[in-house]
Structure 1
């Protein structure tokens, strides 16, 4: 165990299909960071290391899972420009070596060696089938090559619940009437109807479509119109998030001209939400969050014109901040129970 690393009471990690988001307590403040959920095979950057600082070494760590070494961290895109980034987009994602490698990367870059409680999340569509696996997979000692960490206990939450917990701390929250929380993720779009912190499972659900599917549709439009293969979707993601142009074969393109023909992906997801929620006559507001929130906002407002949309600030970190708050609250509750103090 690295003696320079620290102990934290709670670490919250949202291992998403697009990015891995991390939150932990740093004094009275909450520290957050994220890195791409990409796990290409590890490659030693020997030229950069021998260049006396002239060439920057990518900020990554080597993580070993089941005998294979992966490269994980904020600099991983530098080794994945060919479009083969080791992303694993499937419903069994949380059981893969990639997931374990990304979790190890979260501990490494948070500089944390042990926690009393680890909080993780799952999409709504596979929550009930995978929650038991996650609860047991990472409790205790975990060793992944250069990265080692200890976990006292694990709690797993539906991903939109993190946003709900986070939103409940603001004055717009109405604990007497339902809110509709919509979490636009990379691979899935999840929604929860909840009154206070009680979920209406009959009206909550998930759609097998997220921001990545929208990016793929944009890539297809570009290929059809310009006859150019974008070589993956990560740069499309970054361009849309930052408002930048997309460099293709030496030319800068404004992505806005390609968006209308990819709109069907967003339309299908929002229609699924509308069908799942059934009616909105009792809904106080829509809480919109997730990395793809801004992309879906216009269509959501068009489908639910009568409802106010509460757009969470810094939506990429909304879930993981809520996970941290939930972890801290449950840890305090459990401590009081052990001490015989009413919770």
Structure 2
């Protein structure tokens, strides 16, 4: 697997947009600013209703707007990378993977889309591996032993 720097890019459209959209909708409904983004994220992940001021707020009604944001983000990515016929690996990672799964699968309909176990922690695991590799390389030949998990 190789990183394609030419196709690497970021799009200012993601989970924060989804959480803020829902928070804005809740704010309108309750008549004051709602900032419980962690609660919204938890409700989306678990599929449970959001409870605000002892009232149940069904997030399912926001599904069309959530899917629209996901499609917009993936469409922007596809415009950036161009034709995907030579893409070898499509790997879905990150805390918002579950929100973008459908849009990514549609965009890469001719590809197998892989999703790592616990995608929310993919970056952390990657940083741990990179750090462990760095320490191992830096201490090579010094007599320092690096144990599993990067701890000496």
Same fold flag (TM > 0.5)? yes
Instruction: Give the C-alpha shift of residue 338 in structure 1.
Output: 5.6
State whether structure 2 residue 37 is matched by structure 1 residue 231. Answer: no
Match of 1:314 among 118, 121, 125: 118
Gaps of 5+ in 1: 1-174, 176-194
- The verdict on how the C-alpha distance between 1:261 and 1:209 changes in structure 2, with shifts beyond 3 A counting, is closer
Structure that is richer in helix per residue = 2
Quickly say closer, same or farther: Cα 1:311–1:334, change in 2 above 3 A: same
Does the CA contact (< 8 Å) of 2:92 and 2:115 recur in 1? yes
Q: CA deviation at 1:297?
A: 0.5
CA distance in 2, matches of 1:229, 1:307: 45
* 1:252 counterpart SS class: strand
Corresponding residue for 2:11? 207
- Give the alignment partner of residue 242 of structure 1, picking from 32, 46, 51: 46
Report deviation, 1:222: 3.9
Residue 301 of structure 1 and its aligned partner are, at CA, apart by 0.8
Provide, for residues 50-71 of structure 1, a one-character-per-residue CA deviation record: whole Å limited to 9, x for no partner: xxxxxxxxxxxxxxxxxxxxxx
Task: Work out the number of aligned pairs and report it.
Answer: 142
Alpha-carbon separation, structure 1, partners of 2:83 and 2:142: 43
Q: Which secondary structure state, in structure 2, belongs to the residue aligned with residue 259 of structure 1?
A: helix
Q: CA deviation digits over 1:151-203, x for unaligned, max 9?
A: xxxxxxxxxxxxxxxxxxxxxxxx4xxxxxxxxxxxxxxxxxxx2xxx22110
The answer for unaligned runs of 5 or more in structure 2 is: 144-152
**Equivalent-residue separation in structure 2 for 1:229 and 1:270 (angstroms):** 32
TM superposition shift of 1:238: 1.5
Q: Is the CA contact 1:221–1:262 (under 8 Å) kept in the aligned structure 2?
A: no
More strand by share: 1
User: What do residues 235-258 of structure 1 show as CA deviations (whole Å, max 9, x unaligned)?
Assistant: 211111222211133222321112
8 A contact 1:289–1:311 mirrored in 2: yes
CA offsets 1:186-230 (integer angstroms, 9 cap, x no match): xxxxxxxxx2xxx22110111122211111112333445x35446
Matched, 1:335 2:139: yes
Q: In the alignment, what sits opposite 2:148?
A: none
What SS does the corresponding residue of 2:69 show, helix, strand or coil?
A: helix
Distance 1:228 1:311 in 2: 39
Distance 2:140 2:100 in 1: 42
Distance in 1 of aligned mates of 2:23 and 2:39: 10
Shift of residue 260 of structure 1?
0.9
**1:292 equivalent in structure 2:** 96
Per-residue CA distance 1:281-303 (angstroms, 9 max, x = gap) = 11223110111110010111112
Deviations, residues 297-317 of structure 1 (Å, cap 9, x unaligned)? 011111221111111111111
**Partner residue in 2 for 1:94:** none
Q: Residue 117 of structure 2: SS of its match in structure 1?
A: coil
What is the root-mean-square deviation of aligned Cα atoms in Å?
2.1
How far apart in 2 are the matches of 1:267 and 1:247? 28
Q: Please state how far the C-alpha of 1:336 moved relative to its aligned partner.
A: 2.1
Query: Counterpart of 1:305 in 2: which secondary structure?
Result: coil
Instruction: Output the TM-score relative to the length of structure 2.
Output: 0.81
* Rounded Cα–Cα distance in structure 1 between residues aligned with 2:69 and 2:141: 48
Secondary structure, aligned partner of 2:140: helix
